[in-house]
Amino acid sequence: MPKGIYQLPGVKNEPVKSYAPGSPERSALKQKLDELNKGGLDLPMVIGGKEVRTGNLHDIRPPHNHGHLLGHYHQGDKSHVQMAIDAALKAKPAWEAMNWESRAAIFLKAAELIAGPYRSTFNAVTMIGQSKNAFQSEIDAVCELVDFYRYNVKNMVEIYGMQPNSSPGIWNRMVWRPLEGFIFALTPFNFTSIAGNLGGAPALMGNTVVWKPSRTAVWPAHLIMQVLQEAGLPDGVINLVYAGGREAAEVVFNHREFAGLHFTGSTAVFNGMWSTLAGNIGRYKSYPRIVGETGGKDYILADKTANAKQVATAITRGAFEYQGQKCSAASRAYIPTNLWEEVKQHVTEDLAKIKTGVVEDFSNFVNAVIDEESFNKLAGVIDDAK
């Protein structure tokens, strides 16, 4: 048992590197992009700490260069989802009994690895695999994920410190227990940081996790898993499975030990899962916690005294950074009539200057959308507008 009340290292936001011409980080990233573009990927699932290969291979291709085969990942099925659940439940007693300082140390170590020796790798994988430019990748795959892991620990300590008042002669103490069962983390393609956090946050609090990433973001998920293992995460605490969404949900949502859903994705998918869970509520050992972040219609509202150029920049960057593939992307704007003509002119000029192309060319601001389905959907919208 610990014989001390430990203080956390100081927590602060990870600084964003510039990747300016001639900078060491730019040179290192360029080298890593060249290295990883050579391909040869063979990505297994990770269940109970073991690599699981099925031979059912699915291609991994860059969205901006889909003629280039980077490698494959091993697709799983319902049996592998069940294996992941079994592994999570097996690991649960030892993990939730581990003192919080040891759990915290694992995620703080992972943060240091991502911010340090793995920085170029995380950026290159996210750039190639999800078609993000260097800046978009840096603020997501490195800085935000590092901040999640560090501030999660800080927030955990604050939560554990929330203790009840005690009456005279009584010492009231509160224990913050993990949930009774396993957590299902269902993560999106558009943020590597969210992919690492939806399973990482509940695991930090003593829960064990079944993690199903988006089929278009298997590569960064596998990298996150590697780093967590290197940082000391015990086998079975987080189990990475590449199964179809409906297959995974059918197994998970019918399991008595299902304890919580941590999700980022579309509103329609989240609504469907919530309906399923409501219909199954009598099956579960306890009431499952349901946490979801979904898309919305983010807006820009300008006052009549606003600077037209600043408003135009907000529209251009808010709508088109990372090809608009963010839940926070601007999709509507309310502009006063006295500003509109000037704002429109600036936006038109800005859009004409934006370069589009591959991520390896750092002058490209906009890259590719994630897959053919997304491309066809957007092309249809453009055609309708014409």
The identity of residue 206, as a single letter, is: G
Q: What does DSSP assign to residue 8? A: P
The sign of the CA dihedral 97, 98, 103, 106 is negative
Q: Is 293 tagged catalytic?
A: yes
- Matching residue, tokens 């005279």: 168
Angle between helix axes 192-204 and 100-115 (nearest 10 degrees) is 160
Q: Which member of 25, 180, 250, 293 is catalytic?
A: 293
The identity of residue 139, as a single letter, is: I
CA distance 360 to 136: 13
Q: Which member of 230, 327, 341, 373 is catalytic?
A: 327
Give which of 212, 219, 304, 306 is closest to 265, Cα–Cα.
Answer: 212
For 195, residues 6+ apart whose C-beta sits below 8 A from its C-beta are: 187, 188, 213, 214, 217, 220, 221, 224
Count other Cβ atoms within 10 Å, centred on residue 323.
23
Q: Is 25 tagged catalytic?
A: no
| Active-site residue list | 293, 327
